[in-house]
Amino acid sequence: MIFAHRRSGRDQRAVRAPRPPPRSSSGVSEVYEKVDTLLGYPEGVDVPELPPCSPPEEYLKSVILLFRQEVRAAVEAAFDFEDSKPGFMSRSMYQNQIEIRVSSAMLLENSFEVTKPHFHQQCALRKLADLQHHICVIGNRLFVVRLNKDKSALRFIEGGFLEELNLPCDPEEALGDSFPIQKVSAYSLGYFGSQRADAIGLVKLQANPHGQSTLLRSLADPTVRCEASLMPFLDTSGDAAAEAVPLNSTQKEAVRGLKYEIEAIQGPPRTGKSTTIYHTIKGQVPLTQVALVTSVQNKAIDSCAAKLQKTVDSVPFFVFGQAENIGETAKRWTLQAQMESEDGSLRTLNGRLGVAVMDEAGLTPEYKVPALLQLGIKTIVAIGDQQQLQPFSQRTVINEESSVGTGFFQRVVAALQAAGQPLPMLTRQYRMHPKIASVVSSSFYGGRLETDEDTALNRSLATMGEPAIEWLTYTGCKEEFSQRRSKQNSHEVMMVRDLLEKNKAAWRSKSKMVITFYRGQHFQLEKSLRDLVKQSRGGDAAEGELRVVTVDSSQGAEADVVILSCVRSNKKGKIGFLSNPHRLCVADSRAKERLLIVGDAETVCNKDEIFSRLREAAHVVE
């Protein structure tokens, strides 16, 4: 993205400094220097499509380019203009601003250290550790921030000049060739600790690609089928622990077929991915190894913990993660929680990491996967769904309709399918009413999904003759641009609220979810439904929860009743990213009992086959 630069009458351009050459060092310090350069010089890069198969060295180069593109997008998102100023400066004045008095700074080579920065009362950052791994702007330059070795001071490491990086530069804030005599203001662009961890893994791997196992070769080219050190599948009939988490036939076939260093299993919505993961760990991982289950979604980890806790005596496990971010089930199995248990015992996991199981693998960015090799992983079993959402990208923060490309799981699936190698698929679903499942199956899964018999009976009884799919349509061009540079539709907001009010008694005990495709509409719906959401969380056990979410945040979630607000309503029949099949797959498959679509059918169904199929299956109310 190219930004326009504002200039005052006097030229205050800073002297441009080229990217610094690597300093002569070795080991850990050299890795950190390269990581600081990756984060501090987020140049715009053109990233070609990552081929499904490539040599390891070329693969690593491409993945690092993808990583640099994401860092650049994250920095651009922080610079996004608000009221003619970069976003990081125009947010509530002191929320992300600190002052540094030069008299308290120790100048070092390419950096300086500060022991006592001044935090304003309104600043969200309160202590030194709060700025660890942030990227800051001081004057006209980026700085990477981390604590020094004894954690007594913040070290600000020089990055690129804003103008050189094609980022907005306020000439009134420029430092020139030296710091002002008294003090400077530092603006935080946000926490980049996750990106830093990714960068460390990539830099270490690139420094010694040949020192890795054959897994790197299989990672770069999934069609290279190197056999893994997995146990042969054992029939668990009669095993009480295994029977507590029963396998259906498609799950059993998927687990039975695991054989190679890189494996992929397609798991459509609510087809038992957590059950498959449990039996992969219990039945396939050698007793001398420890399995790592990882996901970019906390909800997925909570589901796995729920399965594993049923048989914890035969499959002991720990959950690693920040307690405030993980689910209630997972919290009970963190390392700290187990150390603080009543009997004071600590179950130990003997052996070493050997197998990584990736849940919701379709959401995993490519640049996060190579870091697993640094943990000594020898086998990756990826369970995901290429039909649902693709990996999150910071580019969608800047433009929510931008294309994000594919991720690790999508590439592996494409490589295996192009080579004519089978992709096991879980086909029995346990969530949706049969009529909803039929539309989802025919639209996204080639008609292969089948509904579990008990699920079909329970959903049919729950609807009590009400249509499983209902479309509430209207006429007229109702969509608007919101102040958030997104789209909104006030008419649909009113229709959704009326729908909830009208069915308040009938849906009282039902869980309810309102889904929309646009951030602007999400904001308006939250505002309109705030009282109903609060009431649903008032502590009455008989009251079903109401949630308002975007499609992108709803993957992995479900509700008895789902209301989908389509937003788009115009004369030209333009529907933007409503035509994105990945988002549509997620939106259509969240409902257990009823799916109610609020949208201008004439606009939405004008050119889209999937929406047209939904309308044909729905009871239409005009």
Kind and range of the H or E run holding 331:
helix 328-331
- Neighbour-count burial of 600, counting CB atoms closer than 10 A to its CB (0-12 exposed, 13-18 middle, 19+ buried): buried
Nearest of 356, 413, 355 to residue 384 by alpha carbon: 413
Residue 76: inside a domain? no
Q: Which tokens belong to 2?
A: 């190219």
Q: In what order do the strands lie in the sheet with 183-191?
A: 105-108, 111-114, 154-161, 141-147, 134-138, 183-191, 97-101, 118-119
480/496 same-domain check: yes
419/445 same-domain check: no
572/455 same-domain check: yes
225/351 same-domain check: yes
Residue 479 or 526, more confident: 526
Average pLDDT over residues 60-67: 91
Residue 151: inside a domain? yes
Distance CA 136, CA 160 (A): 11
Residue 136: inside a domain? yes
Residue 563 main-chain phi, psi, to 5 deg: -110, 125
385/440 same-domain check: no
Cβ distance 568 to 477 under 8 Å? no
Nearest of 7, 197, 196, 168 to residue 80 by alpha carbon: 168
Check pLDDT > 90 for residue 405: no
pTM of the model: 0.85
224/314 same-domain check: yes
301/353 same-domain check: yes
DSSP state of 533: H
Residue 384: inside a domain? yes
Distance CA 360, CA 273 (A): 9
Check pLDDT > 50 for residue 16: no
420/449 same-domain check: no
Residue 59: inside a domain? no
Q: Tell me the pLDDT of the chain averaged across its residues.
A: 82
Average pLDDT over residues 337-346: 50
Residue 27: inside a domain? no
Cβ distance 130 to 165 under 8 Å? no
Backbone angle region of 447, left / alpha / beta, with phi > 0 → left and psi within -120 to 50 → alpha: left
Q: Report which listed range, 37-46, 104-113, 581-590, is most confident.
A: 581-590
Question: Taking the alpha carbons of 221, 222, 226, 231 in that order, is the dihedral positive or negative?
Answer: positive
Check pLDDT > 60 for residue 1: no
Q: How far does CA 397 lie from the centroid of its chain?
A: 12
Q: Report which listed range, 202-206, 233-237, 587-591, is most confident.
A: 587-591
Residue type, 310: K
Distance CA 16, CA 362 (A): 41
360/268 same-domain check: yes
CATH of the domain at 499: 3.40.50.300
Kind and range of the H or E run holding 435:
helix 434-444
Question: What total number of domains does the chain contain?
Answer: 3
Residue 5: inside a domain? no
Residue 369: inside a domain? yes
Distance CA 462, CA 588 (A): 19
Helix (H, G, I), strand (E, B) or coil at 17: coil
416/448 same-domain check: no
159/241 same-domain check: no
End-to-end CA distance of the chain: 43
pLDDT score recorded for residue 489: 94
pLDDT score recorded for residue 180: 44
Supply the range of the domain harboring residue 409: 195-391+403-426
C-alpha distances in Å from residue 507, one per residue of 471, 503, 593, 598, 618: 18, 6, 11, 17, 20
- Indicate the pLDDT class of residue 411, thresholds 50, 70 and 90: very high
| Domain end marker among 188, 217, 243 | 188
